């Protein structure tokens, strides 16, 4: 049996992707920070035979995950027919607690996308070498945000006139990034753990016919252009304003959907107020962003790491479930750890 082991990180969107078209393509462009420590490690094993699929998570079989994986493999088999001629075994584990507010679907499908690119390279290394854009495109078929987890530290996904080479098939690395942003930190406040009341898949679907949908698309393109300028010039104050606005717009779209729903919790709002007061009182350029859930990502330059850590432990940790939070930083994307019978990574 052949195998490949891949380590792929999660990411946190700065300009948010919300709403998708056919083929897991986004309504609007999005820009994200690739994380470093919050990763999924996946071993993909295969052998020739009638197609079959088994999945293990944290060393235990997890048949409940199979329907989504089977859908992913079915989508990909239309592009890579060789999949139907092999049996696959997937063994996966996360460096972060499951349901802890980290986008585990992004890291999980990024790992599979790169692993399956390696699988195809093993079958035909001359015509199909391992390719990061291909891996990003394949990862997208399982989770849209996974397209942004193959590379780093800053990735754009979705076609926009403001970035040459941008497209809706795969994420592209943003090259023009000021040094201050390359060393950013992300401390994740685990306000609430467990499954969300409304899944992201359902939330994306509610954007179809949303009253504010067209305006949101225009805003996302405008904010993408502004963010690219901010990242290039090192405009930390502009970064704070734009990123916090994007986070609140995302949740405003959820609340104004039909039916509307609310994923922020009282402690989410309390943390936001505390962050803004801390920034006003200290001048530290700490800002928040939110994913599609209750938990809060704190983004700040590396130079303020100790100051922010003291603030988190003294004030914000009391707002977290069991006082839990995670410390992360920007990373460079997914990588192959080892291979069995594969071309060198």
User: Is the CB of residue 114 less than 8 Å from the CB of residue 342?
Assistant: no
Is residue 93 in some structural domain? yes
Whether 142 and 211 map to the same domain: the answer is no
CA-closest candidate to residue 8, choices 128, 165, 115: 115
At 145-204, the pLDDT tens digits run 999 999 999 999 999 999 999 999 999 999 999 999 999 999 999 998 877 778 888 999
Residues in the chain: 345
Q: Which residue has the higher pLDDT, 333 or 343?
A: 333
Q: Is the pLDDT of residue 218 over 70?
A: yes
* CATH number of the domain bearing residue 274: 3.30.70.890
Whether 212 and 168 map to the same domain: the answer is no
Taking residues 296-312, what's their average pLDDT? 98
* CATH number of the domain bearing residue 85: 3.30.230.10
CB atoms within 10 A of CB 30: 28
Whether 78 and 36 map to the same domain: the answer is yes
Whether 43 and 70 map to the same domain: the answer is yes
User: Mean pLDDT across the chain, nearest whole number?
Assistant: 94
Whether 168 and 198 map to the same domain: the answer is no
Whether 187 and 280 map to the same domain: the answer is yes
Taking residues 3-19, what's their average pLDDT? 96
Query: Cα(285)–Cα(300) distance, rounded to whole angstroms?
Result: 6
Whether 186 and 168 map to the same domain: the answer is no
Whether 170 and 185 map to the same domain: the answer is no
Whether 169 and 196 map to the same domain: the answer is no
Q: In this predicted structure, what is the pLDDT of residue 344?
A: 42
Whether 223 and 299 map to the same domain: the answer is yes
Whether 158 and 190 map to the same domain: the answer is no
User: Is the CB of residue 146 less than 8 Å from the CB of residue 106?
Assistant: yes
How far the first Cα of the chain sits from its last, in Å, is 18
Q: Is the pLDDT of residue 340 over 80?
A: no
Parent domain of 213: 180-329
Q: Is the pLDDT of residue 10 over 60?
A: yes
Taking residues 17-39, what's their average pLDDT? 95
Is residue 127 in some structural domain? yes
Q: In this predicted structure, what is the pLDDT of residue 295?
A: 94
Q: How confident is the model at residue 341 (pLDDT cuts 50, 70, 90)?
A: low
Query: Cα(143)–Cα(145) distance, rounded to whole angstroms?
Result: 6
Q: Is the pLDDT of residue 345 over 60?
A: no
Q: In this predicted structure, what is the pLDDT of residue 282?
A: 98
Taking residues 275-284, what's their average pLDDT? 98
Taking residues 311-340, what's their average pLDDT? 94
**173 vs 93, 157, 197, CA distance in Å?**
26, 9, 33
Is residue 345 in some structural domain? no
At 49-82, the pLDDT tens digits run 999 999 999 989 999 999 999 999 999 999 999 9
Q: In this predicted structure, what is the pLDDT of residue 194?
A: 73
CA-closest candidate to residue 111, choices 7, 3, 4: 7
In the chain, the number of structural domains is 2
Whether 280 and 318 map to the same domain: the answer is yes
At 80-103, the pLDDT tens digits run 999 999 999 999 999 887 655 566
User: Is the CB of residue 88 less than 8 Å from the CB of residue 308?
Assistant: no
């Amino acid at each position: 049996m052949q195998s490949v082991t891949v380590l792929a990180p999660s990411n946190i969107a700065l300009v948010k992707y919300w709403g998708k078209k056919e083929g897991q393509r986004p309504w609007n462009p999005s820009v994200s920070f690739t994380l470093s420590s919050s990763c999924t490690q996946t071993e993909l094993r295969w052998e020739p035979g009638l197609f079959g699929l088994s999945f293990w998570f944290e060393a235990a079989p997890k048949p409940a995950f199979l329907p989504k994986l089977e859908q992913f493999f079915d989508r990909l088999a239309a592009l890579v027919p060789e999949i139907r001629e092999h049996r696959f075994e997937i063994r996966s584990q996360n460096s972060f607690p499951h349901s802890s507010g980290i986008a585990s679907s992004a890291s999980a499908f990024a790992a599979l996308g790169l692993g399956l690119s390696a699988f195809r390279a093993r079958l035909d290394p001359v015509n199909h070498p391992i390719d990061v854009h291909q891996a990003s495109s394949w990862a997208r078929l399982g989770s849209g945000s996974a397209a942004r987890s193959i590379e780093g530290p800053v990735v754009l996904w979705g076609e926009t006139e403001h970035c040459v080479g941008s497209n809706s098939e795969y994420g592209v690395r943003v090259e023009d990034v000021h040094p201050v942003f390359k060393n950013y930190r992300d401390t994740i406040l685990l306000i609430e753990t467990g499954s969300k009341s409304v899944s992201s898949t359902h939330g994306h679907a509610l954007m179809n016919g949303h009253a504010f949908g067209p305006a949101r698309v225009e805003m996302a393109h405008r904010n993408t252009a502004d963010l690219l300028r901010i990242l290039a010039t090192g405009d930390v104050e502009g970064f704070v304003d734009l990123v916090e606005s994007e986070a609140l717009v995302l949740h405003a779209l959820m609340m104004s959907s039909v039916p509307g729903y609310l994923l922020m919790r009282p402690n989410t709002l309390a943390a936001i107020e505390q962050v803004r007061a801390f920034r006003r009182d200290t001048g530290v350029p700490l800002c928040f962003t939110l994913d599609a859930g209750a938990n809060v990502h704190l983004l700040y330059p590396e130079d303020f790491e100790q100051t922010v850590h003291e603030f988190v432990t003294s004030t914000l940790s009391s707002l977290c479930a069991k006082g839990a939070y995670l410390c992360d930083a920007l990373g460079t994307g997914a990588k192959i750890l080892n291979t069995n019978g594969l071309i060198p990574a």
